Amino acid sequence: MVAELRAKTGAGLLDCKKALDESQGNQEQAETILRKKLGSKIDKLASRATKEGLVESYIHVGGKVGVLLEINCETDFVAKTDDFKAFARDICLQIAAANPTCVRREEVPEADLAKEREIAAAQVAGKPPAAIQKIVEGKLDKYYSTVCLLDQPFVKNPEKAIKDLLTEKIAKLGENMQIRRFVRFQLGA
């Protein structure tokens, strides 16, 4: 059970054992406990500088799509691990497949957001103002999940968002990591 929980969460052996003890063997409760615990640990890691890392490249079969990605971590030791490199390759694959335009929500141009809000509001015209606000926010979240890399569902496992995958890797490797930037090239685009 401990090994299964470790595989799901990326948490340490002792943390998994304690969470299972605390939840009296309930796997779902143990996951929730670890998420809460790892969340505070990851918040502490997020303040640490990420000056190492690597630039990963990916060329899709046929040479029609290519990606360059800069992903950072705290130490070159972690940057050289197979786990970190595999994560970078997965992110490159995600970018090639899902075609995001930016890494995080803060990078979406305000003009694009205003346009999306206007379109969403026009689609729900005539409804009560409180409902309009909620619907517009829901449509903006959907828009973010198409254009922001961190909000996109992972192509290999659509039940997880890229930000959740990143959080798991941070917890597993014990270092702050950051997807800094990327460029996606597509032939003829």
Greatest mean pLDDT among 22-36, 44-58, 151-165? 151-165
- Please give the pLDDT value at position 150: 95
pLDDT tens, position by position, 88-107: 999 999 999 999 999 999 99
Same domain, 98 and 166: yes
Instruction: Please enumerate in sequence order all residues whose Cβ is within 8 A of that of 93, keeping only pairs 6 or more positions apart, or say none.
Output: 58, 155, 156
Same domain, 141 and 161: no
* CB contact at 8 A, 67 and 135: no
pLDDT over 90 percentage in the chain = 44
- Please give the pLDDT value at position 51: 80
Give me the CATH number covering residue 69: 3.30.479.20
Q: Which domain holds residue 119?
A: 109-146
Same domain, 114 and 168: no
Asked if the model's pLDDT at residue 111 lies above 90, the reply is: yes
- Please give the pLDDT value at position 69: 96
Helix ranges (H only) for 46-152 are 76-79, 82-98, 110-123, 129-147
Q: How far apart are CA 160 and CA 85, in angstroms?
A: 19
Asked if the model's pLDDT at residue 168 lies above 80, the reply is: yes
Q: Higher-confidence residue: 47 or 185?
A: 185
Tally of domains within the chain: 3
Amino acid residing at 133: Q
Same domain, 29 and 93: no
Same domain, 77 and 153: yes
Asked if the model's pLDDT at residue 178 lies above 80, the reply is: yes
Same domain, 94 and 170: yes
Put simply, whether the predicted model's pTM sits higher than 0.75 gets the answer no
User: Which of 183, 182, 180 has its CA nearest to residue 71?
Assistant: 180
Same domain, 91 and 135: no
Same domain, 100 and 154: yes
Q: How far apart are CA 146 and CA 99, in angstroms?
A: 8
- Please give the pLDDT value at position 130: 81
Paired tokens of 119: 């379109």
pLDDT tens, position by position, 112-167: 999 998 888 888 878 887 888 888 888 999 999 999 999 999 999 999 999 989 98
Asked if the model's pLDDT at residue 44 lies above 60, the reply is: no
Same domain, 13 and 40: yes
- Please give the pLDDT value at position 27: 83
Amino acid residing at 178: Q
The distance between the two most distant Cα atoms of the chain, rounded to a whole number of Å, is: 58
C-beta atoms surrounding 98 within 10 Å: 17
Tokens 């918040």 appear where? 43
C-beta atoms surrounding 18 within 10 Å: 16
Q: What is the mean pLDDT of residues 57-85?
A: 92
